[in-house]
């Protein structure tokens, strides 16, 4: 672990505080007219996603956690777990769905997301802004169903349900925004 001072904090930096791992969401260096300077921070717990506000003395030492980003290819599901292959070492890694979070709704065989690793633990997944997925189930479109803005639910190959325009049919490929989970366009 690298020890840094609170004067060196930057947004997105990972910190090890006790047994917990945090990323810096926001920080502000404050120098009041009287008294000592301090750093006010908003930290996000990497494992739980909760945020906490914490104040440090200026120059206080904290442990910086080194987060490694690795490109991994999704291979298949093994029971509840997802099996990935490291693209550099070809080592296979079985990851529980809890560690992947909402990314499980956008993973298809052969996709290659960037995994954020802390040691051997997966703490996050970076997906592209949009992915193309096939519709496995939706109501059929009817002649004349061209009402502007009208939507219907569609189930995708990953099990995710999104609202799509009425003219979209089963078996079509669509683009879905991975940040919001919304339909963007036909693939």
pLDDT tens track for 12-30: 888 988 888 998 989 999 8
Does residue 184 contact residue 176 with C-beta atoms inside 8 Å? yes
Pairing of strands 81-86, 68-78: antiparallel
Question: Going by CATH, does the domain composed of 130-186 fall within 2.40.50.140?
Answer: yes
Alpha helices of 27-184 — where are they, by DSSP H? 97-100
Question: Going by CATH, does the domain composed of 68-126 fall within 2.40.50.140?
Answer: yes
Architecture of domain 2-64: Roll (2.30)
Does residue 132 contact residue 110 with C-beta atoms inside 8 Å? no
- Same topology between domain 68-126 and domain 130-186: yes
Closest CA to 106 of 40, 35, 55, 179: 179
The answer to whether the predicted template modeling score (pTM) of the entire model surpasses 0.75 is: no
Does residue 120 contact residue 162 with C-beta atoms inside 8 Å? no
| DSSP secondary structure letter of residue 185 | E
Alpha helices of the chain — where are they, by DSSP H? 97-100
CA distances, 166 to each of 60, 114, 149, 161, 172 (Å): 58, 34, 9, 15, 13
Per residue in 145-175, pLDDT tens?
566 677 889 999 988 999 988 888 889 999 9
For residue 23, the tally of other CB atoms under 10 A from its CB is: 20
Which residue ranges make up each domain of the chain?
2-64, 68-126, 130-186
């Amino acid at each position: 672990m690298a020890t840094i001072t609170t004067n060196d904090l930057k947004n997105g930096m990972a910190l090890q505080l006790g047994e917990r791992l945090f990323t810096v969401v926001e920080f502000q260096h404050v120098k009041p007219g009287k008294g000592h300077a301090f750093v006010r921070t908003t930290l996000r717990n990497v494992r739980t996603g909760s945020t906490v506000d914490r104040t440090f003395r200026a120059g206080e030492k904290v442990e910086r956690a080194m987060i490694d980003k690795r490109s991994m290819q999704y291979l298949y599901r093994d029971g509840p777990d997802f099996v990935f292959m490291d693209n550099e070492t070809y080592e296979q890694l079985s990851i529980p769905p809890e560690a992947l979070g909402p990314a499980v709704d956008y993973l298809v065989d052969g996709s290659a997301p960037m995994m954020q690793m802390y040691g051997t633990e997966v703490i996050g997944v970076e997906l592209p802004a949009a992915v193309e997925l096939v519709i496995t189930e939706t109501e059929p479109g009817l002649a004349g169903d061209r009402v502007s803005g009208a939507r219907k639910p569609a189930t995708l190959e990953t099990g995710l349900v999104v609202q799509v325009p009425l003219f979209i049919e089963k078996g079509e490929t669509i683009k879905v925004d991975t940040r919001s989970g919304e339909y963007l366009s036909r693939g």
